[in-house]
Amino acid sequence: MDYGQIKMRLTRALFSPSPEVILETTHSMIDEVERSGDDTTFIKLLELLMGVDMRKAASRILVSVIFNFFVRESLFMLDIHEETLERIGRLLQSVSAGSLSNILCYWVVKRLLRDGAWMGISSEKLASLAPALYIFYLSYRDKLAELPEKLVYFLSNGTGKYISTPLMSTLVQKFYMGLFIPKYRREIIEDIIQFLISRSSRIIYDSISEVALSYALTLKTLEDYEAEWNINPGESGYHSFFLDIFLKTANLIAPISNKKLELLLSELIEFAKTLKKMKIETTYRSLQLTRITNIYARNPPVYHKFSRSLQRYFCGPSMWLAIEILVERSTTYESDEAMNELKKLWMTLGGERADIIDTVIHVIGAFKK
């Protein structure tokens, strides 16, 4: 295999993108894996893609498209053994490729689910694919996967490999268990609340409490939305903290449920409106921009219902980040909703963003044929 030639094609695809160049590059990589028939070529090409400089949003979007289709097509041509997973695990530990690592794990798990091959893999190797759960969570509305309970348990046990803070790792593990195994939800909600109580008789207003409360509230909305918030804006000295919890919970619910997101956004906006009427200042955080963008790109129909109020009390979405998310949804889990939103943006945006969207739409269309 001529890696130099493939690298040149990849560079050309990123610096002079067109549907034809992107498709040629992706198919050349898939063809190399098919010709070799082994995972060595596959791993080397993964390293090439995951090592690309992705500081520019346009590059991240284009690489994610090539990566998605390359990984999806290649994996279903290969036999996946424990040795393959061990090599993938080492690759994930050696590179910092963010969403690409999550997507790789997702497609590996999808491949193992196809013929029940996961049952012949050790729990330790399955744990190394823990980032897959993040993508399965994000695809909840678009393509809900019925994951075997035992597999969820093995995958969630691996969160500690990728999340350095033990407390945060435990919370993420509990969230996934509650999300994908409904019978555990109420028990997990109670566990999280007990964890908060064990830290202090009063809420400690820090990032751990924010995550814990948001996870508990998200799981509770899936069980039943009759939640009593009991927040009195006039008495609280932590308005920004509670506003962040509302917003983070809405952010978490966006990929899961339209109805529950509508209910929560209504309360979030009412809370923000009350604070403004009382002339209570809240701290603007950059995370608000990311969370508003996530709500928009993960659930455009609901976002559009509340867009004016959200922009009035918070901010509008970051368009480059929104395009990244919509492209991920369109490629990774074939979301028609995301594709329709991309087409709307293509008609309203101009310049480089419109060109990138146009290229992506044509590439996705070619792979669907």
| 3-state SS, one letter per residue, for 139-208 | CCCCCCCCCCHHHHHHHHCCHHHCCCCHHHHHHHHHHHHHHHCHHHHHHHHHHHHHHHHHHCCCCCCCHH
pLDDT at 368: 77
Per this entry, what is the length of the chain?
369
Question: Which residues make Cβ contacts (< 8 Å) with residue 363, sequence separation at least 6?
Answer: 19, 22, 23, 26, 65, 69
pLDDT at 342: 96
The pLDDT tens digits of the residues spanning 74-118 come to 998 988 888 889 888 888 877 666 789 999 999 999 999 988 889
- End-to-end C-alpha distance for the chain, whole angstroms: 28
pLDDT at 97: 61
Token digits for 66? 């090539």
pLDDT at 347: 92
Cα(178)–Cα(252) distance, rounded to whole angstroms?
13
Cβ atoms of 57 and 323 closer than 8 Å:
yes
Cβ atoms of 61 and 330 closer than 8 Å:
no
Question: Which residues make Cβ contacts (< 8 Å) with residue 104, sequence separation at least 6?
Answer: 46, 67, 71, 88, 92
pLDDT at 52: 83
Residue ranges in the chain whose pLDDT is less than 70 = 1, 95-97, 201-203, 224-238, 282-285, 369
Cα(125)–Cα(105) distance, rounded to whole angstroms?
11
